[in-house]
Chains A and B, each alone.
Chain A
Amino acid sequence: MFPTMQSPGSDLAMDLSPREVPDAPRAQRRWLPIAFAVFAGVAGLAIVGIFLTSSIDYFCNVDEVGVREGCNDDERVRVQGSVDEGSLRLQAGTTSFVMSFNGASLPVVYDGEPGGVFQECIPVVAHGRVVDGTLMATRIEVKHSNEYEAENADRLEQSESAACS
């Protein structure tokens, strides 16, 4: 038994000496949340430092390619524009179309079939390099609008004509 401590003038003594704690992974319990907090801090810094800085202004518009800083046509770019009506071709697993924005157009060739709701008259973002005036895309993403309308033939026609006009 441990020795006891007794307050002077008191008949009530308390044993304040250290004890063996049977389930003692206390240090582990203390460090786990700290490790999580540090991980969250590092992950947050990485998100801001690496990904957010590169994603601010996620794309260049078609009319900015080769004109705007960061949209150089001799490096990898992400270009946004609307798929021209009647320009979409799917041949031997290769997709080709013309994308336009603000009066400028850019032919795009993509080795594969784009996913999502890809179609004509819809804005898309194509990743790739411009070679001889054609964007050789390695990825196509659909940038759909913030408008939601019931699906029926009349409205679909209106939507398409509005998107292409």
Chain B
Amino acid sequence: MHTATTAAPGAAARTGTRTTRVIGVLALATTAFVVVSAFFLTPADSVQGDSVRIMYVHVPTAWVAYLAFITTAVASGFSLARRHRTLGFDRVAGASGEVGVLFMAMTLLTGSLWGRLTWGTFWQWDPRLTTTLFLFVTYVGYLAVRRIDTDPRQRARRSAVIALLAVLEIPLVHFSVVLWRSLHQEASVLSPDGDVRLDDLMLFTLFAGVAAFTLIFAWLVIHRQRLTALADIRQTVGLDAAIALRRSETRGVVK
């Protein structure tokens, strides 16, 4: 690995592969379909009118944020179990956590805009919004803990424990509208009674949105964890070079 980065820096700096390029193209195509369908093909809602079109971004970003945090927890579990062998799972956990926070921020932003158009307010401290914000803040804290300057293995252990605890918030967020009285509506898909309460094309576009954002998530996580791996290699190579330099200096002094 060191040889690759030092011998061919240009080649080593690339994080793309054929697989990521395929994922990227699929993500672009699916996103293009979602944009066209959301704006031009799907009907306006009988009550909400055109503001319902925010749903095609809001719901997929929320689901992908959940997926990202679950991925972080699973990778953290493997990281704890295999911590003496590799930091790869820790890098995946960190990358997925970063992308999850990004998508959760988009969920909060689009939800706030949608709330203004339908509820008449940008924000209320109702159970769904409050627990979602709590989830977001938890993962911001997780990322902050990952940034604390410490031994990489200690960082991996510490952040893995946080990730495994934080993921338990997701059921609380998802079922908050069922457990408590909330201004936020209950789920239209995957509701407890199993009914789907969406017009057919709306539902199809929503699923396409979930697919598009999942592909974007996969693309981002793969690239991000490879970038982190390259940064780690660079740091290691830098350390090796510094030690070699000081050895050569010392040889000069001794002589």
Contact = CB atoms under 8 A, between A and B. Distances in A.
A115 B121 contact: yes
Interface string A116-158: 1111001001000000000000011111111111111001100
- Candidate in A52, A54, A119 with the most chain B CB atoms within 10 angstroms: A52
B253 interface: yes
A58 B254 CA distance: 76
A155 B44 CA distance: 12
Interface in B188-234: 188, 191, 197-199, 202
Contact of B253 (A4, A36, A39, A80): A4
A142 B120 contact: yes
Interface string A28-54: 011011101101110110011001101
Given A36-B141, A40-B141, A52 B120 contact: no
B199 A55 contact: no
Contact of B246 (A15, A144, A159): A15
Contacts of B26: none
Contact of A148 (B116, B133, B202): B202
Interface in B83-130: 116-121, 124-127, 130
Contacts of B130: 47, 51-52, 55
Given A36-B140, A52-B131, A58-B180, 19 more contacts: A14-B247, A14-B250, A26-B149, A32-B147, A33-B149, A40-B141, A44-B134, A44-B138, A47-B133, A52-B127, A55-B126, A55-B130, A57-B180, A58-B181, A145-B47, A148-B188, A148-B198, A149-B199, A150-B202
A81 B92 CA distance: 47
Contacts, number: 168
Contacts of A39: 141, 144
Contact of A143 (B137, B185, B197, B253): B185
Contact of B144 (A33, A118, A144): A33
B48 interface: yes
A1 interface: yes
Contact of A117 (B49, B124, B146, B187): B49
Contact of B183 (A6, A48, A143): A143
A14 B246 contact: yes
Nearest to B140: A40
B18 interface: no
A59 interface: yes
Give the contact-size bracket for chain A. 35 or more
Contact of A29 (B45, B127, B149): B149
Contacts of A149: 45-46, 199
A107 interface: no
Contacts of A57: 180-181
B156 to A, nearest CB: 15
Contacts of A13: 250-251, 253-254
Contacts of A151: 43-46, 49
A159 B131 contact: no
B47 A159 contact: yes
B202 A47 contact: no
B148 A116 contact: no
Contacts of B186: 146
A4 B45 contact: no
A40 B188 CA distance: 32
A30 B150 CA distance: 9
Contacts of B182: 58
A147 B197 contact: yes
Interface string A94-126: 000000000000000000001111110010010
A56 interface: yes
